[in-house]
Amino acid sequence: MPHAFDVSNGAIDASASVAPHPADWAFFLDLDGTLLDLAEAPDAVRPADDLQHVLTTLEAASGGALAIVTGRAVSFVDQLFAGHSFTVAGLHGAQLRLQGQGAPAIAARPAGFVAGARLARAAAQNGVLFEDKGDAFALHYRQAPAAAKDVHAVMTRAQQLAGADYKLRPGKFVVELAPARQDKGDALRHLMTLAPFLGRRPFAAGDDVTDEAMFKAARDLGGFGLRVGARADLAGSAAAMGLPNAAAFRHWIRSLTP
């Protein structure tokens, strides 16, 4: 098993001593940057060859208490993992699909939201990429980091057009406009009231500021979080431990089951 950063004291401890046992824990896993390596374009991400097997094995070992909690739409997760419908909290919890069910329908989009999306789409040039998530949209500037200020300005205007029902969610080289009614912490708390998550301790893993709500919720409910990223990124995190990248995290979760 790889070693993990212990955020509480900055040391590196063997993660075997803190690894959640599938029989007793519930697993809440972010997608991009955590389960998947980040890519230059949002639609270019691909799961590792064995990732679906790793996740279904962990899901079975935990009695089904595994959820993918992501800013992506549920339908996008289904495209990545063909033939298996995981429990997914998509769009930061605004969409919810329980294991084995179909993807939720996209709601009718208000005129202000459509106008904001049109504004953001027009700004997608010179390395800035537009991502349509159905009930949300985002501008990515990983290929054009100098455009950060302009992207934030455009998305701020888009949020004003969309109205108070939508919230900006900045992340790593991305600004997203998504429904304001839920965050990843709310999604975790809600799922923990449902079987098969009920009565277990929550473990949350993520790599970005939007995952901090999950880490806090897991901690409050007697579990803990793991943040994926450089050690410097862990300063001030609500996560209890960390791993340096998605590849290390995938290796770590493989070790949780025989």
In the chain the domains, ranked by start, together with CATH numbers, are 22-93+182-256 (3.40.50.1000), 111-179 (3.30.70.1020)
pLDDT value for 193: 98
d(C-alpha 126, C-alpha 102), whole Å: 37
- Give residue 109's pLDDT band: very low, low, confident or very high (50, 70, 90): confident
Residue 98, pLDDT > 80, answer: yes
Q: What is the pLDDT of residues 208-245, one digit of tens each?
A: 999 999 999 999 999 999 999 998 888 889 999 999 99
Closest CA to 13 of 202, 184, 161, 226: 226
Phi-psi region of 229 (alpha: psi -120 to 50; beta: other; left: phi over 0): left
Which residues have a catalytic role annotated?
A: 30
Q: Report the DSSP pairing between strands 166-171 and 174-179.
A: antiparallel
- Give residue 249's pLDDT band: very low, low, confident or very high (50, 70, 90): very high
pLDDT value for 83: 86
Pick the range with the lowest mean pLDDT from 69-83, 92-106, 159-173. 92-106
List b or e across 86-96, with b for residues whose CB sees 16 or more CB atoms inside 10 angstroms: bbbbbbbbbbb
- Angle 169-108-82 from CA coordinates, rounded to 5°: 70
Give residue 221's Cα distance to chain centre: 19
pLDDT value for 10: 39
Residue 176, pLDDT > 90, answer: yes
d(C-alpha 3, C-alpha 231), whole Å: 13
CB atoms within 10 A of CB 110: 14
Residue 181, pLDDT > 90, answer: no
d(C-alpha 72, C-alpha 91), whole Å: 5
pLDDT value for 7: 43
Ranges of beta strands (E only) in the chain are 3-6, 12-14, 25-29, 66-69, 87-90, 95-97, 129-132, 137-140, 166-171, 174-179, 201-206, 224-228, 241-243
CB atoms within 10 A of CB 11: 9
Q: What is the pLDDT of residues 3-54, one digit of tens each?
A: 455 444 333 343 434 789 999 999 999 999 999 999 888 889 999 999 999 9
